[in-house]
Amino acid sequence: MTIKKLPLLTLAAVLLFTMSNAQAYEQNQEETAITFGLSAERGWRDWSASYIKYRGPGSIGYGIEFTRSAYNEDEDSYEYKQRDNEYQFQAPIGITENLYITPGYGIKRTHTDVTIDSHEFSDSSTKQVGGLDATYIMDSGFVVTAGFDKAEGEDLEFSIGAGIAW
């Protein structure tokens, strides 16, 4: 290689390095999403909220999700109330630029009040809970998510939600 070609080769290397760094930045650019979900099923009323950082294809993000559930049954001499608070840590895995699979793990705190013929009974328990969600982030910033959660000794629960990402 001659000395005359060295500046041209150096310029080409700098341009290639700059372009590859810009492309890597685009692929790993984080998106933050806030989602909300509502459901009503067999007497249950649920709402949930989550805050999640998505890191792009092939990367793992992080986030939290909170779900509040309530069930009420009231008859003449019988009243049953149950309140659940669920807290999960989320770890979204980027499958494509827009699609994420998100496993979650946390705890579910349940408080139950029963009144029978003016006698009140209360109980509280804490259980482990795990979940798996699929999330799609549209180019417009709209987020759609659906998934399943399962607590120890309980049935599988399905949830859907929507939100925004930026």
Q: What is the pLDDT of residue 4?
A: 53
Tell me how far apart the alpha carbons of residues 99 and 42 are, in angstroms, rounded to a whole number. Answer: 31
pTM of the full predicted structure? Answer: 0.75
**Amino acid at site 125:** S
Domain ranges of the chain: 30-165
Q: What is the pLDDT of residue 70?
A: 95
What average pLDDT does range 104-125 have in this prediction?
A: 95
Asked if residue 35 has pLDDT above 60, the reply is yes
What average pLDDT does range 39-67 have in this prediction?
A: 91
Q: What is the pLDDT of residue 76?
A: 82
Tell me how far apart the alpha carbons of residues 136 and 85 are, in angstroms, rounded to a whole number. Answer: 26
Taking alpha carbons only, the member of 87, 158, 159, 160 closest to residue 126 is 87
Q: What are phi and psi of 157, to 5 degrees?
A: -115, 140
Structure confidence at residue 33 as a pLDDT band (50, 70, 90): very high
Task: Of 39-48, 59-68, 75-84, give the lowest mean pLDDT range.
Answer: 39-48
Q: What is the pLDDT of residue 19?
A: 47
Asked if residue 163 has pLDDT above 90, the reply is yes
Tell me how far apart the alpha carbons of residues 101 and 132 are, in angstroms, rounded to a whole number. Answer: 7
Residues in Cβ contact with 67 at an 8 Å cutoff, skipping those fewer than 6 apart: 37, 46, 47, 48, 84, 85, 86, 88, 149, 159
What average pLDDT does range 91-118 have in this prediction?
A: 95
Q: Which CATH class is domain 30-165?
A: mainly beta
CA 146 to chain centre: 9
Asked if residue 2 has pLDDT above 50, the reply is no
For Cα atoms 88, 69, 47, give the angle at the middle one, nearest 5 degrees.
Answer: 75
Structure confidence at residue 21 as a pLDDT band (50, 70, 90): very low
Mean pLDDT over each residue of the chain, to the nearest integer: 86
